[in-house]
């Protein structure tokens, strides 16, 4: 089953285009978990979040930085977290890889074969040869950074290049390279006008991963309306901190579920 087939199936079943980012930063975990489990608290935290929200999402997105920061144990926790997520739910590795071809090939092998992630984020700045090894995995999805959600995105992504911003050139390349129908793009909710432009460029069959809701204060309604396709789908709305850290008390998993349910319903109202 391809990434798109898997994504659409779980989105229909859960009536959801909400993706929860498992940005489980150890210092921010509830103190009782950290005191009880040490660094392994990340795994117990993820377990509780996944069990509380698995029927409300279309995907999960662990950010690898928060696991790599813990060293070898963190990578073991990342692997075990992947095992906790039901097989029918797509997992997007937020890795933002980008390097020369032979290095990219090693990254792709690690993320798609060893960790068995369904998708990965990739920085396409180095050009097609740095992206191509990921695209060889036709059943997986490679999300190219196009217009990111951070304030510094304007430094380069909006530079005028031959009469239009650089991010639009990247979106056009994403569509051009999508011969296997396994490319997606990343566009931040903090840039809703650019979201609409990118959707027009990439067409209706490419998924858009939309970070920037919650802690980064992106406008959810505008982001959803500008990123969905003509069928009101394929906009993966990622929310991380405002869901998983909704509470730091014993009820953190319940609070995460409440936040996720509210967001899912708000996304569906905007889609409608």
Task: Reply yes or no on whether 181 is catalytic.
Answer: no
Angle (CA) 61 84 40, round 5°? 90
Cα(first)–Cα(last) distance of the chain, in Å? 28
Q: To which H or E segment does residue 100 belong?
A: none
Q: Which of 96, 109, 225, 232 is catalytic?
A: 96
CB 171 within 8 A of CB 195: no
Strands 92-97 and 119-122: parallel
Q: How far is CA 79 from CA 29, 114, 191, in A?
A: 19, 9, 33
Q: How far apart are CA 244 and CA 107, in angstroms?
A: 28
CA distance 111 to 132: 15
Q: Contact 210/235 with Cβ under 8 angstroms?
A: yes
Catalytic residue positions?
A: 96
């Amino acid at each position: 089953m391809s990434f798109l087939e898997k994504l659409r199936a779980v989105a229909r079943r859960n009536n959801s285009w909400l993706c929860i980012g498992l940005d489980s930063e150890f210092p921010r975990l509830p103190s009782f978990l950290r005191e009880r489990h040490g660094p392994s608290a990340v795994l117990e935290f993820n377990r509780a979040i996944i069990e509380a929200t698995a029927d409300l999402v279309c995907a999960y997105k662990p950010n690898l930085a928060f696991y790599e920061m813990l060293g070898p144990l963190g990578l073991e926790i990342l692997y075990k977290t992947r095992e906790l997520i039901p097989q029918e739910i797509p997992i997007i590795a937020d890795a933002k890889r980008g390097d020369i071809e032979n290095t990219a090939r090693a990254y792709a092998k690690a993320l798609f074969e060893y960790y068995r992630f369904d998708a990965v984020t990739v920085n396409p700045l180095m050009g097609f040869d740095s992206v191509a090894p990921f695209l060889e995995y036709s059943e997986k999805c490679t999300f190219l950074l196009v217009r990111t959600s951070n304030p510094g995105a304007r430094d380069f992504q909006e530079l005028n290049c031959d009469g239009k911003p650089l991010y639009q050139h990247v979106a056009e390349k994403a569509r051009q390279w999508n011969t296997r129908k396994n490319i997606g793009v990343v566009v931040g909710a903090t840039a809703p006008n650019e979201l609409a432009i990118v959707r027009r460029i990439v067409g209706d069959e490419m998924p858009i991963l939309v970070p920037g809701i919650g802690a980064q204060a992106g406008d959810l309604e505008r982001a959803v309306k500008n990123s969905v396709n003509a069928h009101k789908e394929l906009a993966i709305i990622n929310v991380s901190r405002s869901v998983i850290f909704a509470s730091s008390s014993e009820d953190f998993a319940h609070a995460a579920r409440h936040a996720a349910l509210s967001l899912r319903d708000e996304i569906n109202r905007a889609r409608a």
